[in-house]
DNA sequence: ATGAAAGCGCTAACAG
DNA sequence: CTGTTAGCGCTTTCAT
C-alpha cells in the first residue's frame, strides 16, 4: 500500500489538501466536525505526515542534535535518556553523535549535523568556548555541564554537596585529605577542585592535590600509589569512574576500601550504586539536567529568552567510615 | 547571511542547478573541472545540502532509527557508539529512541519513527516476533541480539564461551552450580540457560536453576539468599549487572566473592571491568555487533540480500577462584 | 472556515 | 557532459 498523503485524505473526504494539512498543524483553524473526520480517515489510511516535506516547507526538521564526548561514560546514558524523553514530549527526535572525546572532532561533527537539526545540545564540550561558538555559528544551542559566556547553559553545581562530603569525612575523624584532579581542560574538574580546596583551607586541614588525570578507570588505578604516598586517608576522586579505579589500584597494593581509606566519587553513576560496598558520592540530577536542557533549547527555538540554569548535586553517603586507627 | 542553495551556486557559476546538484550526489557525471569549481564556491558560500529537500526528492532521510530497551543498561552504550560510528561511515545519522523496557512502547515508538527514517535497528526487542513484524511493516529493519524468523538479524552466541566458563570453574574444583535465569521473554536468557543446562548434564554436575529474574542489579541482590540456600559455590548470573547484584547481596549476608563463591557474569560491560575484584564474564563483541548491524541495514537499503550474522562471545577470566575448603 | 496556488531545495528523467 | 522540466508532500499567503 502506497503511503497516504494529505491528498489521499483530501480526496477521500472531498475537502482540500489545505484543510487536511491544517487539521494537523493548526487544528484550531478547522471546524471541529471536519477535523474529526480528517483525523479519523487519516488513522484508517495509516497516514503519517512526511517529516521531510514538512521540514522543507517550514524549515524545521523536528530533530535536536545531541553531542556527547563519550556515550560509554556512564554519566551520559541517564542524561541521554532524559533528553530523549523530554524531546519526545515536544515532538522532537534526538540525533545522537559521539565525539569520542576529541575537541577537534567536535568542530567537524557540529558542522556536519547543524544543517539537519533545529538545534543542538552539547554536553560537556572539550572545545574552548570561542572555538565552540565559532563552530556553532547561528544554530540555536544549549551547552550542558559547562559555563560558556554568550551561550545558553545548563549546569550542575556540586560545591555545596562536596563541602558537605568533606565535612562528613572530617566528622568521621579524617584529617589528611587528597584531591584527584580531573582533566585540566574540564570545566567541571576546575569547579570541583575549587570547592574542595577552599573547604580545606577554611577547615584548616591538609590537602594533597594530585593529577591532573584523565577521567577514566585506569588512570584512577594507576594513581593509587600516589595516594598511598600522600598519606591521605580521605580521597576526593574527580568522578565515580576514577574512584572505582582508585579502589582497584589500592586493592592491587593490598589495601581495602573503606577499611584503609575512604574514597568519595562524583556523579553517582550506575557504577557507584552497584559497587560492593557502595560508593559515597555526589548525586547529579541527570534527569533534571536533561529536561532543563531540552526546555531551554525549545525556548530558544520559540525565540523566548532562556535563563541559564544551575542545578545542585546532592551528597549520597554509602560506604564511608572513619580512618584506620 | 541567507543559507546558500544549489541555485545560488548555479547562478554564481552560470551553470544549471542540476549540474550543481550532480556535483554533489553523482560527482562522476560532471566534468572534473566544473565539479571542482562548484565544490569550491560551495565551500566559499558555506553551502550545505538541505537534507529535508533531498529527502523529499529521493524518499531517503539519511537517518537510521535505533531502538533500545534501556540506554542506561551498560550493555547498550558501546553498541550505540559502534552503530553511530558505522552509520556515519555510510553517511547516515542515528535517531535514538529508548523504549524504557516496555514492549508496548516499542510498538508505539516504531510507528512513530518509521516515517522519518530509512531503516530501523532494533536492539534486544521485548516484543514477540509476530507483533514486532507487524509494527515494523515494510520498513527495512535489522534485529539485534534476538532471533526473528523472516527478519534480518545480528546476534551474539555465547554458548561456547559459557561452556568454557563452566569447565573453568569445574577445573577449579567447583561441583555445585547455580544458574540465575534472566527474563523469561528474553531470547538471550533462553540461549544462555540452555547452554549451561546442557553442559551441566553432560558434565554430570548438579545445577540449581533460579529465577526468572529481571536483569537488574536489585534483582540480583535479592536473589543472594536463594543462592546461599541452593548450596552452589559456582553461580552463573544472567548478566554482569545481576552478577554485581548477587555480589552485593552475598555481602549483605556476610559473604565475600570470590572467597566464598565464584560468580560468572555475561557481556563484560564496563561494570565488570571496574569492579574490585574484577568479574569473570563472557565478553560480547559489541563493536562488531554494531558494525555488522549497520552493514546489514545498509545492505537491505541497497536491495542486497543480507545473511543473518552470528558473532561469538569469548570468556574473560578475572576474579574466579576455587570453592572454599 | 475553506480552497487555490505558489513555493521550500533538491533530484531525476528526458533531451540535447 | 549539461540544461530543462517536473515533481517529492507539506505549509502558507491570499482570496473567497
Contact between the CB of B50 and strand C at under 7 Å: yes
Say yes or no for a CB contact (<8 Å) between A93 and B95: yes
pLDDT tens-digit map of A34-71:
999 999 999 999 898 999 999 999 999 999 999 999 99
Q: What is the pLDDT of residue A112?
A: 87
Say yes or no for a CB contact (<8 Å) between B71 and A80: yes
| Distance, Å, A10 CA → D11 C1' | 15
**Percent of chain B predicted with pLDDT > 90:** 84
Contact A113, A94 (CB under 8 A): no
Contact A50, B41 (CB under 8 A): no
Global pTM value? 0.94
What residues contact residue A58 under an 8 Å CB cut-off, 6+ apart? none
Contact between the CB of B59 and strand C at under 7 Å: no
Instruction: Read off the pLDDT band of B211 (50, 70, 90).
Output: confident
C-alpha–C-alpha distance, residues B119 and B61, integer Å: 9
Contact A187, A145 (CB under 8 A): yes
pLDDT above 90 for A185: no
pLDDT above 90 for B206: yes
Chain A residues close to B258, C-beta within 8 Å? none
Three-state SS annotation for A204-236: CCEEEEECCCCCCHHHHHHHHHHHHHHCCCEEE
Contact between the CB of A111 and strand C at under 7 Å: no
Say yes or no for a CB contact (<8 Å) between B93 and A116: yes
Average pLDDT over residues B140-152: 96
pLDDT above 80 for B166: yes
pLDDT above 70 for B273: yes
Find the nucleotide nearest A32 (Cα to C1′). C1
Contact B311, B157 (CB under 8 A): yes
List the single range of B3-17, B150-164, B221-235 with lowest mean pLDDT. B3-17
C-alpha–C-alpha distance, residues A260 and A319, integer Å: 12
C-alpha–C-alpha distance, residues B273 and A71, integer Å: 17
Tell me which nucleotides of strand C come within 7 A of a protein CB.
Answer: 1-5, 7-13
Chain B residues close to A253, C-beta within 8 Å? none
Chain A residues close to B247, C-beta within 8 Å? 276
Average pLDDT over residues B272-291: 96
Q: What is the pLDDT of residue A74?
A: 96
Average pLDDT over residues A224-248: 97
Interface test with B, best of A3, A24, A68, A72 (most B CBs within 10 A): A72
Chain B residues close to A77, C-beta within 8 Å? 71-72, 74, 76-77
Q: What is the pLDDT of residue A1?
A: 60
Q: Higher confidence at residue A123 or residue B114?
A: A123
Residue B82: Cβ-neighbour burial (10 angstroms; 0-12, 13-18, 19+): buried
Average pLDDT over residues A92-100: 96
Instruction: Read off the pLDDT band of B1 (50, 70, 90).
Output: low
pLDDT above 70 for B305: yes
Average pLDDT over residues A215-242: 96
Instruction: Read off the pLDDT band of A308 (50, 70, 90).
Output: very high
Establish how many alpha carbons lie within 13 A of residue A39's alpha carbon, considering only the half-sphere containing its beta carbon.
13
C-alpha–C-alpha distance, residues B258 and B319, integer Å: 7
Contact A256, A263 (CB under 8 A): no
Q: What DSSP designation does A168 have?
A: H
Q: What is the pLDDT of residue B57?
A: 93
| Distance, Å, A12 CA → C3 C1' | 16
Tell me which nucleotides of strand D come within 7 A of a protein CB.
Answer: 1-5, 7-13
Average pLDDT over residues B300-304: 92
Say yes or no for a CB contact (<8 Å) between A61 and B51: yes
pLDDT above 80 for B2: no
Contact between the CB of B60 and strand C at under 7 Å: no
Amino acid at each position: 500500500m502506497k503511503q497516504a498523503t494529505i491528498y489521499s485524505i483530501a480526496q477521500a473526504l472531498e475537502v482540500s489538501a489545505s484543510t487536511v494539512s491544517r487539521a494537523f498543524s493548526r487544528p484550531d483553524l478547522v471546524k471541529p466536525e471536519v477535523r474529526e473526520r480528517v483525523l479519523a480517515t487519516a488513522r484508517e489510511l495509516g497516514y503519517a505526515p512526511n517529516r521531510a516535506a514538512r521540514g522543507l516547507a517550514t524549515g524545521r526538521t523536528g530533530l535536536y542534535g545531541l553531542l556527547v564526548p563519550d556515550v560509554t561514560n556512564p554519566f551520559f546514558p541517564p542524561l541521554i535518556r532524559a533528553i530523549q524523553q523530554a524531546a519526545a514530549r515536544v515532538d522532537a527526535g534526538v540525533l545522537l553523535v559521539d565525539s569520542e572525546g576529541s575537541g577537534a572532532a567536535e568542530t567537524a561533527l557540529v558542522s556536519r549535523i547543524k544543517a539537519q537539526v533545529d538545534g543542538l545540545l552539547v554536553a560537556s564540550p572539550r572545545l574552548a568556548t570561542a572555538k565552540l561558538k565559532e563552530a556553532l555559528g547561528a544554530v540555536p544551542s544549549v551547552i550542558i555541564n559547562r559555563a560558556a559566556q554568550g551561550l545558553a547553559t545548563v549546569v550542575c553545581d556540586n560545591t555545596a554537596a562536596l563541602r558537605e562530603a568533606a565535612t562528613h569525612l572530617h566528622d568521621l575523624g579524617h584529617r589528611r585529605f587528597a584531591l584527584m584532579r580531573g582533566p585540566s581542560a574540564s570545566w567541571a574538574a576546575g569547579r570541583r577542585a575549587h570547592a574542595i580546596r577552599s573547604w580545606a583551607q577554611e577547615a584548616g586541614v591538609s590537602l594533597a592535590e594530585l593529577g591532573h588525570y584523565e577521567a577514566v578507570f585506569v588512570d584512577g588505578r594507576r594513581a593509587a600509589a600516589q595516594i598511598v604516598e600522600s598519606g591521605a586517608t580521605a580521597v576526593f576522586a574527580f568522578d565515580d569512574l576514577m574512584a572505582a579505579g582508585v579502589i582497584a589500584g589500592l586493592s592491587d597494593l593490598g589495601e581495602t576500601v573503606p577499611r584503609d581509606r575512604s574514597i568519595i566519587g562524583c556523579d553517582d553513576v550506575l557504577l557507584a550504586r552497584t559497587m560492593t560496598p557502595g560508593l559515597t558520592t555526589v548525586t547529579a540530577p541527570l534527569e533534571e539536567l536533561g529536561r532543563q536542557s531540552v526546555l531551554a533549547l525549545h525556548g530558544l527555538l520559540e525565540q523566548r529568552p532562556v535563563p541559564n540554569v544551575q542545578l545542585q548535586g546532592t551528597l549520597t553517603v554509602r560506604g564511608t567510615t572513619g580512618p584506620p586507627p
